[in-house]
Structure 1
Amino acid sequence: MSFEALGDLSGILKELAARSDVSIIILASANEKYFVSHADLDDLEQVASGKPVAGERSAWRTTPALIEAIPQPVIAAVNGQAWGGGTELALACSVRVAAPAATFGLPEISVGMVPGAGGAQRLSRLIGTGRALELILSGRKVSAEEAFRMGLVNAILPNRNFRQAVMDWAQQFARHDFDALVANKRAVTEGARLDFEAGLDLERSLVIPRTASPRSAELRTLLMKRYAAASPDDEIDF
């Protein structure tokens, strides 16, 4: 993943962010062996030596930040290798799913480097400081199964028709009201950066407009009708 490619990705994301007909964005690779193998090492060497590179040098910071900031939830669909910059890009996404053969890792320490695209910050917030330090200080790779057990990955989906499996899995989110998806993503991602009381204030600022919206009122009415028609043993589908 080069600086230039990250800039291209940012351009696509900005276009999608402006569309209210796009509920969920899935970030996937056309190559079944690689999600993103790692950052473009030639780019990094050019920067280290003070030479110019194609694209913006800040892209490894701004593009993951954009993934977090755009209204829609973003799913990282990881098939194959996602090391270094690949794991960092996946960490910026709202949730992550993996094919069984996917592998993750932040091996920068092995070449005397430090994760430079938010990996140390996002990984520790996702799986805890101790586990993050163990992975970063060892530089070891983890399988999809281990990544799932530690909370790095939300689900492992079949290799066969992996992309379609991701699309099907994403329907649990995409079926909900667009504005509600956006508000709930904000509540979690922005709230995670705030202290607890400020997070509660953010929640309240999001709850009141949603509660007052005609769409929310319509959905609540439909839900109450389902409750009224259900027997005590029925499971209500939200």
Structure 2
Amino acid sequence: MPLWNLERAGGVVELVYDNPPRNFLTFAALEELGAHLSDLADDPDAAVIVLASADEDRFIAHADLDELGRLADGPVPEARAWYTTMRLIETMPQPVVAAIDGQAWGGGLELALACTLRWAGPRAHFSAIETALGIIPGAGGSQRLIRLIGRGPATDLVITGLRVDADHAARLGIVSRVLTGDFRAEVRASAAALADLPRAAVAAAKRVLREGAELGLSDALRLEGGAFGELLATPESLRLQQAARERYARAAAGDQVGFGGLGEPA
């Protein structure tokens, strides 16, 4: 029986995790997720991937502790999915959104940190619980967290295991949005708006943000400039630039015009 249920709506693909009773994250779940993502990475109809939960109280509680016990006895080949699936989330062209409304501790937090964007509901809460178990994050959690929110806050969270709620997580920068209405509906609406943006530009932005964070400033600027130059003369970009010029011309003539993903009229 699958642990991830795939649902499509236009360019948005939802992968909904369902592993009762507590939505622990298993090796099998990560392998299954990796297989889905490998297929979706090359799917021209998939613009945005959303990782969600069928459990109303949990995104992913944490890693399955019985499986961690197996690792203590020696290498477990399928455990490699903790690394390969996380890296696939980061490197596939589409943005991957973690939709979190409930518990995201330990491995659940680590999976969320690998995602491109994290959108939380008001009931979301986060904790790097590993030190309480006599271990540390082992799937990139400490390293992604320090790059995301900085050394001081990351050190506090990783060493103490402090539990933070959605608003605190937003202030720290762990999540970019706290959605306070109908969470599932707001996630779908936001993901649909993201899916409507030019896909080549979104993929390039994701790539340069990820790769640039691992480079010195001079190399990162060259990376950004190269991607900008590649996009600038594409047919899609030229068409969108011309459409923007025409909207500005209409605005100068007194028309009220909007710019969609660009925000309010200038």
* Offset of residue 86 of structure 1: 0.5
* Offset of residue 188 of structure 1: 0.6
For residues 51 and 193 of structure 1, do their structure 2 counterparts lie closer, same or farther at Cα, with a shift above 3 Å needed?
closer
Alpha-carbon separation, structure 1, partners of 2:257 and 2:104: 39
Q: 2:73 aligns with which of 46, 49, 56?
A: 49
Aligned to 1:143: 165
* Offset of residue 234 of structure 1: 5.5
Alpha-carbon separation, structure 2, partners of 1:20 and 1:138: 43
CA RMSD of aligned residues (A): 1.6
Q: Does 1:193 align with 2:214?
A: yes
Structure 1 residues 168-214: Cα deviation after superposition (integer angstroms, max 9, x where no partner): 12234222111111111111111111111111111122112211111
Return 163-172 or 5-14, whichever deviates more. 163-172
Alpha-carbon separation, structure 1, partners of 2:146 and 2:75: 32
Q: Does 1:96 align with 2:118?
A: yes
Q: Is the 8 A contact 1:34 1:81 kept in 2?
A: yes
The secondary structure found in structure 2 opposite 1:64 is helix
Q: Which has the higher strand share?
A: 2
Q: 2:196 aligns with which of 153, 161, 175?
A: 175
Aligned to 1:29: 53
Alpha-carbon separation, structure 2, partners of 1:146 and 1:105: 12
For residues 51 and 24 of structure 1, do their structure 2 counterparts lie closer, same or farther at Cα, with a shift above 3 Å needed?
closer
Q: 2:230 aligns with which of 187, 193, 209?
A: 209
Q: Does 1:20 align with 2:44?
A: yes
Return 191-200 or 124-133, whichever deviates more. 191-200
- In structure 1, give the amino acid aligned to 2:157: L
Alpha-carbon separation, structure 1, partners of 2:180 and 2:225: 39
Structure 1 residues 80-108: Cα deviation after superposition (integer angstroms, max 9, x where no partner): 10000011000000110111111101010
Give the % identical residues: 45
Aligned to 1:164: 185
The secondary structure found in structure 2 opposite 1:76 is strand
The secondary structure found in structure 1 opposite 2:78 is coil
Q: How many residues align?
A: 235
Gaps of 5+ in 1: none
Aligned to 1:80: 102
Gaps of 5+ in 2: 1-24
- In structure 2, give the amino acid aligned to 1:193: E
The secondary structure found in structure 2 opposite 1:22 is coil
Q: Is the 8 A contact 1:20 1:178 kept in 2?
A: no
Alpha-carbon separation, structure 2, partners of 1:113 and 1:235: 55
Q: Is the 8 A contact 1:227 1:236 kept in 2?
A: no
Return 70-79 or 165-174, whichever deviates more. 165-174
Q: Does 1:131 align with 2:153?
A: yes
TM-score with structure 2 setting the length: 0.84
- In structure 2, give the amino acid aligned to 1:167: R
TM-score with structure 1 setting the length: 0.94
